[in-house]
């Protein structure tokens, strides 16, 4: 049956359409056009030349940065999801409604402060003379190299996305049909088995979307790889800044940005397809 398009529906959907056109489609079209421009004598000239794509895709540093960024974002999504699940599970099933409200409020509080400030605070903990190494020194150990490492970068990714992942998982776990859990217990299914056989499949959409958000935030993050990871090895976000600084090569930076957008779109479609696989409603 064909549905008629009403003026009422179009009116209320117009702001979202305009938002997408002005803040996603238009910048994307501009980036695509910019990637074919050329830079001569530090000045960009409108052109249609594939030299930027050939140059960037022909550099090993680009693919090394791409592989590293993809691996770090994937690891961050997996680690954050695993660490966040016990927290969201406890809030959803172990706390009273009143305490659940307070727990949600506590998860929102980190967003009251700047992410950059939170990352800088981690430098105090992770530096050679920081709090963590100070604790190790009190028992005759260390100092251990914690700052400017992949471990520190992962800490930054967790700082960025952990509260959001907990909230997204929580909103999915709250709406699980409790009768399914009771039925599993009546069939003598243990707690751990119930989690893997009933809870996780029932909350699959929320769990996958939460991991997807973590992947997206980590894949494009610039702050943690620079201020906690030391900028070495180079991620794609760092490569963009390095490219723009070397001869004002904004078209080549646009190539990197478009590659990142394409990767994120592919991962997002794959994740959403997996999340809703087998669902008829």
pLDDT of 85: 95
Q: Is residue 150 part of a domain?
A: yes
pLDDT of 1: 46
Consecutive sets of 10 residues in the chain, 281 residues long: mean pLDDT of each? 58 76 88 90 83 93 95 97 95 91 91 90 90 89 88 94 95 89 86 89 93 96 93 90 87 95 95 83 52
pLDDT of 57: 95
Q: Is residue 103 part of a domain?
A: yes
For residue 247, the domain's CATH number is 1.10.3720.10
Q: Is residue 108 part of a domain?
A: yes
pTM, two decimals, is 0.89
Q: Is residue 85 part of a domain?
A: yes
Q: Is residue 271 part of a domain?
A: yes
Q: Which of 66, 78, 52, 39 minimizes the C-alpha distance to 261? A: 66
Token pair for 233: 């090895």
If one counts the domains in the chain, the total is: 1
Dihedral sign for Cα 255, 257, 258, 262, please: positive
**Rg of the chain in Å (alpha carbons):** 23
């Amino acid at each position: 049956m064909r549905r008629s398009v009403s003026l009422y529906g179009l009116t209320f959907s117009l702001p979202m359409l305009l938002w997408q056109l002005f803040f996603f489609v238009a910048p994307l079209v501009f980036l695509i056009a910019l990637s074919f421009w050329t830079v001569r004598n530090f000045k960009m000239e409108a052109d249609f030349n594939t030299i930027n794509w050939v140059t960037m895709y022909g550099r090993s540093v680009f693919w090394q940065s791409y592989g590293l960024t993809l691996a770090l974002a994937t690891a961050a999504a997996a680690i954050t999801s695993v660490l966040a699940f016990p927290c969201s599970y406890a809030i959803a099933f172990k706390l009273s409604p009143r305490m659940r409200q307070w727990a949600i409020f506590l998860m929102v509080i980190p967003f009251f402060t700047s992410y950059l400030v939170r990352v800088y605070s981690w430098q105090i903990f992770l530096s050679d003379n920081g709090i963590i190494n100070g604790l190790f020194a009190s028992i005759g150990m260390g100092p251990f190299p914690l700052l400017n490492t992949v471990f520190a970068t992962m800490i930054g990714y967790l700082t960025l996305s952990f509260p959001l992942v907990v909230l997204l998982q929580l909103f999915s776990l709250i709406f699980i049909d409790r009768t399914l859990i009771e039925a599993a217990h009546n069939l003598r299914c243990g707690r751990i088995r119930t989690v893997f056989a009933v809870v996780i499949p029932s909350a699959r959409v929320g769990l996958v979307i939460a991991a997807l958000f973590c992947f997206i935030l980590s894949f494009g993050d610039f702050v943690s790889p620079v201020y906690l990871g030391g900028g070495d090895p180079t991620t794609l976000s760092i490569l963009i800044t390095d490219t723009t600084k070397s001869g004002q090569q904004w078209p080549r930076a646009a190539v990197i940005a478009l590659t990142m957008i394409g990767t994120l779109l592919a991962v997002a479609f794959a994740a959403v397809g997996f999340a809703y696989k087998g669902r008829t409603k």
